[in-house]
Amino acid sequence: MSTPYQHRRKKDRGAVLIILISTVCMIMLLALFFTSAMRKDSPDTEPEGRGNETDAVDVISKPKPDDNVTANINTIGSTEQQTTAEQTQPTPETTAPDTKTPSGNSGENSTGPASYTPELLEKTALAEGTAPEDYVDQLVFYGDSTTYGMKAYKVFGSRDTKQVWTPTSGTLALYRAVTDLVYDPNSDTEKSLADICTDNKPEYLIVTLGVNGVSTMDKDYFKTEYQKVIDIIQESSPDTHLILQSIYPVARSYQKQSAINNTKIQAANEWIVELAADNGLPYLNTYSALIGEDGYLPETYQNGDGMHFNETGFAAIMDYVESHPYLD
């Protein structure tokens, strides 16, 4: 038979046990609550809708005159894949650029030079000719990260050139071209495409867009968004000579071939030719001068990621641009 003292001890132990169990349960509930709250506030969830298409992004700050020429390029080949490569300007070439790609297996994307509808290409493509002496000085290039590289590699003599229009981010996706702001080097401010055209009214404007969209955009979507760009430019600066340039090919070393490859780029260039024909605009077929016999961009033209250009590549581009002028 237990004494009153023993009875009290049993009751006290029971009370302590209940308190311990209650405390543990309370801690577990608080932990679950805070974990749930943190997940709810996490920014990792991607928004739904068309805004998730892929980018070829240059994460590059606005160029400064004294900076070394360095491009930090994030090329996203699909909505869930991103690669980053930092490339520094190479020593200028002392020999003529190689015009052929390395030998080896051509791969599934080696389909040779782009095949366009002959009639449309003949109607739109700028022919070889002699450019006026000041022609290149009057050109403005508007486009994505492949255009931004013209600043990084000082194609026009300086990183502060007024002949290159891109957002300060260094990249521009076709499906955001009508909404993303563009850095205006003439006013050191960011503006809409309509405003930068209205304020500057360039003599010649070369548009290079679309590589960011070939992995996800179908023909109708691509042409619809590109047409919006054409309409804005023509409405904002009706006297500007607008030129639609081909999307550039990628090299064999480009690692996201399943998403962006020269087969898809060729198809998109055909759509650009159709837009040029529909709008009575010239087409600058730079792709034809950059593609090797095996269907890839020469490795000597790219800056390390297989998509963006180095000094040699930009020299080849500008040789073609100057030798195929827009002549009134």
Whether residue 154 is found in the same domain as residue 206: yes
In this prediction, residue 33 carries a pLDDT of 57
| 22 and 148 part of one domain | no
Residues 33, 88, single domain; the answer is: no
pLDDT at 288: 94
Q: For the segment 37-69, what is each residue's pLDDT rounded down to a tens digit?
A: 444 343 333 333 343 444 443 333 333 333 443
Q: Tell me whether residue 294 is in a domain.
A: yes
Give the range of the structural domain holding residue 8, as residue numbers without chain letter: 1-45
Q: Over the Cα atoms of the chain, what is R_g?
A: 28
The interaxial angle of helices 219-236 and 262-279, nearest 10 deg, is 40
Residue 160 forms part of a structural domain: yes
Residues 152 and 276 in one domain: yes
For residue 191, the tally of other CB atoms under 10 A from its CB is 18
Same domain for 85 and 8:
no
pLDDT of 84 reads: 31
On whether both 88 and 151 belong to a single domain, the answer is: yes
Long-range (24+ apart) CB contacts under 8 A made by 3-8 are: none
Does 328 map to a domain?
Answer: no
**Predicted pLDDT of residue 26:** 74
pLDDT at 10: 57
pLDDT reported for residue 95: 31
Calpha distance 64→22 (Å, rounded): 63
Helix ranges (H only) for 201-261 are 219-236
User: What was the pLDDT predicted at 55?
Assistant: 44
CA-based nearest residue to 297, from 317, 277, 283 = 317
Say whether both 276 and 171 belong to one domain.
yes
First to last CA, the chain: 117
Give CA–CA dist 202/185, Å, rounded.
13
Taking the C-alpha atoms of residue 7 and residue 5, their distance in angstroms, rounded to an integer, is 5
Cα separation of 296 and 290, whole Å?
8
CATH of the domain at 188: 3.40.50.1110
pLDDT at 18: 74
Number of domains in the chain: 2
Helix spans in the chain (H): 4-41, 118-124, 145-152, 193-200, 219-236, 262-279, 287-290, 311-323
pLDDT (tens, 9 = 90+) of the chain, 328 residues, equals: 555 555 555 556 666 667 777 777 677 766 665 554 444 343 333 333 343 444 443 333 333 333 443 333 333 333 333 333 333 333 333 333 333 333 323 334 434 445 678 888 989 999 999 999 999 999 999 999 999 999 999 999 999 999 999 999 999 999 999 999 999 999 999 999 999 999 999 999 999 999 999 999 999 999 999 999 999 999 999 999 999 999 999 999 999 999 999 999 999 999 999 999 999 999 999 999 999 999 999 999 999 999 999 999 999 999 999 999 999 7
136 and 282 belong to one structural domain: yes
Which pTM was predicted? Answer: 0.70
223/160 same-domain check: yes
Domain assignment of residue 102, yes or no: yes
**Backbone φ, ψ for residue 257 (5° rounding):** -60, -25
Q: Is residue 134 part of a domain?
A: yes
Is 210 a member of any domain?
A: yes
Which residues share a beta bridge with 309? 302
14 and 131, same structural domain? no
Question: Do residue 156 and residue 29 come from a single domain?
Answer: no
Q: Which helix (H) or strand (E) holds 45?
A: none
Integer Cα distance of 259 and 113 in angstroms: 19
Residue 76 in contact with residue 57, Cβ under 8 Å?
A: yes
Q: Each residue of 219-250: pLDDT tens digit?
A: 999 999 999 999 999 999 999 999 999 999 99
Same domain assignment for residues 164 and 67:
yes
**Token output for 39:** 């997940």
Residue 82 sits at φ, ψ, to 5 deg, of -145, 135
Residue 68 lies in a domain: yes
As a whole number of angstroms, the distance between CA 246 and CA 271 comes to 10
Residue 260 included in any domain: yes
